[in-house]
Amino acid sequence: MTIMFLLIGLFAGVASGLFGIGGGILIVPALTFLAGFSQGKATGTSLAVLLPPVGLLAVWEYYRHGNVDLKAGLFVALGLVLGAWLGAMGANKMGDAWLKMAFGLFVTGMGLYVVMTAWKNLAAN
């Protein structure tokens, strides 16, 4: 199990460095499908991963190339603190099936948005 968790983290870390994604899109599904975690436990564990400065080296690399807006990042982080707390309160009031459904709808919606935007940009070229 330890090796699997390390591989999940490695894969999510590479994706995070490449695309700025990880927790909700990769870690949560991997923990539910591969480790058999409930949706709530996978979400809570994914949030626990974010507590240490896991992205510090990636942020530093982007910063070195002028690709970090520290002011925007600070305000997003402040909103994230409040939003994560409110979301956790809501998630803990939902049943696991409803939480899984909400997560699936969210990921599907985001995927459709990305595909449609890319399609539009490709058609314009």
DSSP-assigned states of every residue in 1-26: -HHHHHHHHHHHHHHHHHHS--IIII
pLDDT tens profile 48-57 = 888 767 778 8
| The pLDDT of residue 16 | 80
User: What is the reported pLDDT for 119?
Assistant: 96
CB atoms within 10 A of CB 107: 14
Predicted local distance difference test score (pLDDT) of residue 108? 93
pTM for the model: 0.68
Domain range list for the chain: 2-98
Place of tokens 């709530």: 40
Q: Which residues of the chain have pLDDT under 50?
A: none
